[in-house]
Copies of this chain bind each other. A is one copy, B any other.
Amino acid sequence: MKRIGMLTSGGDCQALNAAMRGVVKTLAHSGEAVEIYGFLDGYKGLIYGNFQMLNGKDFSGILTKGGTILGSSRTPFKTIREPDENGLDKVDAMKQNYFKLRLDVLVVLGGNGSHKTANLLREEGLNIVTLPKTIDNDLWGTDMTFGFQSAVDIATECIDCIHTTAASHGRVFIVEVMGHKVGWLTLNAGMAGGADIILLPEIPYDIKKVVQKIEEREKNGSKFTIIAVAEGAISKETAKLSKKDQKKRAEESKYPSVSYEVADEIFKRTGREVRVTVPGHTQRGGSPCPYDRVFASRLGAEAGKLILKGEYGFMVGYRNREIVKVPLDEVAGKLKYLDPKSTIIEEAKLLGISFGD
């Protein structure tokens, strides 16, 4: 008999349920008896021993459902080493609950922060298997994460809608796409939506180049311009500051986000009113796209196989079109950035897209 803990951690995304269903179906298929402890609201559930016993039925019919049936939270992440308000040591508490329940393994579905914690728990002696969940596609060790393509679809649909209104009014429009540190989502949605300018965290922009592109388009008869801006887009000047000064600058900014700053700068330089649209959390929500459903199900199945074989300490990832197991200590603490010199950036430029660089 296997006793399996499971939790979903960090910002939710599409296909978390599909992935968990994949794990559970694979275990069920093996014929081995299993008990599934679903910890509620991420690591918080493990810390405070808050869980539900789940069985196959609970995972039936959830392939297409957005969100996570276990709930999620960002707790504890950065404060993991600090005691909680009652003085409880969080890592200790998680270990105790794991061992008290005599779990064979803890399955963690999460992004970067969650993988740091997962690796820490591994170091503390817990058996861990993880699955790469994030709309940002920035997890180290895997070419793809689930949630990403669904988020691309939603952000693209948003740009598509803006396209018709931008063209009708001859306006400049900014669509702010999620992604504080990496630009995969913005780049793909921007390319798919036919954005004219794409501003990414990895390629600091020069506002003069942005304006130049808008004016070039006008000269060529295009009355409108669509700009896809990542939440973490950064100007060349700001990029030169120390991280500390960047943070200070952001805190003191009068703009709700960088998109509004870009809009204002364009207005000041050209007199053009610029509209900003922020799809925000919609990018994490709704039913997963078919790609993510298949992908997350496959990863879940492979996680199930690892559990059955007793191979722990791995993230199930995807590399060169093969599903692979990646040691957790390789994954934790690293981010998969977009290389400004990568082929896809070069191609985007050939397609006429400006990155403001």
What is the interface of chain A, defined by CB distance below 8 A to chain B? 8, 11-12, 14, 16, 21-22, 25-26, 28-29, 41, 63-68, 71-73, 143, 149, 152-154, 156-158, 160-165, 167-170, 173, 188-189, 191-194, 223, 256, 275-286, 289-291, 293-294, 297-298, 301-302, 304-305, 320-323, 343-344, 347, 349-352
CB < 8 Å neighbour of A290 from B188, B293, B320: B188
A64 and B192 alpha carbons, distance in the complex (Å): 8
Given contacts A291-B291, A301-B350, 20 further A-B contacts (CB under 8 A): A25-B351, A29-B350, A29-B351, A63-B194, A65-B164, A67-B167, A71-B223, A72-B169, A143-B321, A154-B161, A158-B282, A160-B285, A161-B285, A161-B286, A164-B285, A165-B285, A191-B294, A256-B256, A297-B351, A301-B347
CB < 8 Å neighbour of A73 from B169, B281, B321, B347: B169
- CB closest residue in chain B, given A155: B290
User: What is the oligomeric copy number?
Assistant: 4
A223 and B149 alpha carbons, distance in the complex (Å): 28
Q: Shortest distance in angstroms between A313's beta carbon and chain B's nearest beta carbon?
A: 21
- CB closest residue in chain B, given A69: B168
Q: List residues of chain B with CB within 8 A of the CB of A72.
A: 168-169
Determine if B297 and A168 form an interchain contact, defined as CB atoms under 8 angstroms apart: no
Determine if A277 and B280 form an interchain contact, defined as CB atoms under 8 angstroms apart: yes
Known: A162-B281, A188-B290, A286-B160. A12 touches B343 (CB 8 A): no
- Listed A/B pairs (18) with beta-carbon separation below 8 Å: A16-B168, A26-B350, A64-B194, A67-B165, A68-B168, A71-B170, A143-B321, A153-B289, A154-B161, A161-B283, A161-B284, A161-B285, A162-B285, A192-B290, A277-B278, A279-B279, A297-B351, A298-B347
Most buried by B among A72, A164, A188, A343: A164
Known: A169-B72, A189-B290, A290-B189. A163 touches B352 (CB 8 A): no
Determine if A164 and B352 form an interchain contact, defined as CB atoms under 8 angstroms apart: no
Determine if B67 and A350 form an interchain contact, defined as CB atoms under 8 angstroms apart: no
Known: A192-B293, A291-B291. A164 touches B277 (CB 8 A): no
